[in-house]
Structure 1
């Protein structure tokens, strides 16, 4: 909190704000709105009812028309503010509507019916959170299963990616062998190959292995990523070679050097790669859509597509489940971001 307070109280001028302070604060305010404004709109809209989402002009807060229970009517009735002939404004509940005329009653005395033109009334609104947007998909559409599938794919794939990429990066950064530059060139060259080119060959390989409709079909093809190998290799090159040679003189095996020296010193780069891998796996849509055809093995991203039909889109469910899919990634990113800072501060020879 001290750092945040220092950020908002820092100024260039002495005793008063300098013009550069105003420009800096204005720039920061605009940046905050641009970065967090869409996220705030997404979260608030996920609590709106389907009718509130279709309103124009849209509202930021989740508001809905107020309803009241009236004696003699089994269902709650919508409430409206109606100006009367004597200049007063009364709140009446709509019983039914026929054309441009609505039949309305006073909730306090529902015996008398009042006929009101629909253009002479104003809906009474109140802040209302539609929690059923979250409850119904999790209960009716088995979203907990899809959430478990995405968690399994993301966690297992990230662990495998970190192990395989770190071993490849260790070999390319520590060892000297013929063809090392060519191998590194091949790794970098694969970055220029889009996934659409290799989609069919990889699908045929997965089919021959019998992994279609299995979560391992999503995990294994992307276990080794050229981005991860390049990132870790560049970071491992900064590790002092004298430290590795000293470990070899102490009769440490290559596996022990890799696990006890190189990996701990590479924790900041591993954390960055973990963030990338989690985001890639969690948000992956095209490849899981190709190899997962059974609903019981669908991931969250494929399940979200089920709310988009040819004629209708269930926006209230789609927005709510989008928030659910974003929450784990945001939590992991916030945790690993602090871990990266700590790892960078603690890295080095003592």
Structure 2
């Protein structure tokens, strides 16, 4: 191993430790007692591992309902996003029609518009459709994203057109081609979309805060904000629930890890 490589690896390890340290501190602190949590100087590891903060959070915070709401929103929104973005990306990559370039430019142009700019118009549409204070008001707006469409298009540009023509000659319809040919080929980029969508929807706070007013329909991120009062913060329960909320995203990433890396590596290899 070259000395230059050793220095690079040391730098990467240090940066990784700096990134992991706050997460590790959060998880370990969630197992501390109140006395240890507020002791000075602080200790990284708890003297005795305690589950009292987890029990208190579930007893006081009704977190079972909030986890269910977040699960429904995240899974449904992710499935819709994957389906719609994959179909749209396939159409823009493999079909030539009048105005397709203008449509693609329009999609990409929306990436330059901050979300805060379009929140009011989206909220008016949601209110007009009667989806205010409804989980569908969180699920539907992000069901199609320009980023997802662009990533799928770039990935599918690498698929030979001759492969699709051969399937058509064999009598396959367009839906059959999409279902049996494109979807299996696009598994890596679908995994990328699934991970990003799951992470965005699970961690989303601002949009649910705007759309949802009924506490029984809160997502997990809105519920976490309840531990922050005007004059004090319930740090024990907040740390405990924050630790639990990391688990679903971590599990999804580990499940799709191989496809995720392959999708990132191969997206954009053909323009």
Report 1:27-106 matches (<5 A): 27-62=11-46
Which one of 123, 131, 144 corresponds to residue 203 of structure 1? Answer: 123
TM-score (norm 1): 0.72
Q: How many residues align?
A: 265
Q: CA deviation at 1:153?
A: 0.5
Q: 1:311 aligns with which of 217, 231, 239?
A: 231
User: Which residue, out of 126, 137, 162, partners 2:82?
Assistant: 162
Which one has more relative contact order, counting CA pairs under 8 Å at least 6 apart? 2
Task: Give CA deviations for 1:217-244 in whole Å, capped at 9, x if unaligned.
Answer: 1000111100000000100111110000
Which of 255, 261, 270 is equivalent to 2:190? Answer: 270
What are structure 1's unaligned runs of at least 5 residues?
Answer: 1-11, 13-17, 63-126, 346-350
- Equivalent-residue separation in structure 2 for 1:130 and 1:201 (angstroms): 47
**How far 1:321 moved relative to its partner?**
0.5
State how far apart, in whole Å, the 2-side matches of 1:339 and 1:202 are: 33
Could you state the TM-score of these two structures normalised by the residue count of structure 2? 0.92
Structure 2 residues without counterparts, runs of 5 or longer: 266-271
Deviation for aligned residue 1:167:
1.0
Question: Which whole-Å deviations, capped at 9, do the CAs of 1:2-21 have from their partners, x for residues lacking one?
Answer: xxxxxxxxxx3xxxxx7557
CA gap 1:343/1:205 in 2 versus in 1, 3 angstroms = closer
Q: CA RMSD in A?
A: 1.9
More helix by share: 2
Report whether the alignment pairs 1:136 with 2:26: no
Q: Which has the higher strand share?
A: 1
Out of 287, 291, 295, the position equivalent to 2:215 is 295
Contact map agreement 2:70 2:202 (CA 8 A) in 1: yes
Cα distance in 2, alignment partners of residues 50 and 24 from structure 1: 41
Larger radius of gyration: 1
Q: Distance in 2 between matches of 1:49 and 1:20?
A: 45
Q: 2:9 and 2:119 mapped to 1: Cα distance?
A: 47
Q: Distance in 1 between matches of 2:183 and 2:201?
A: 23
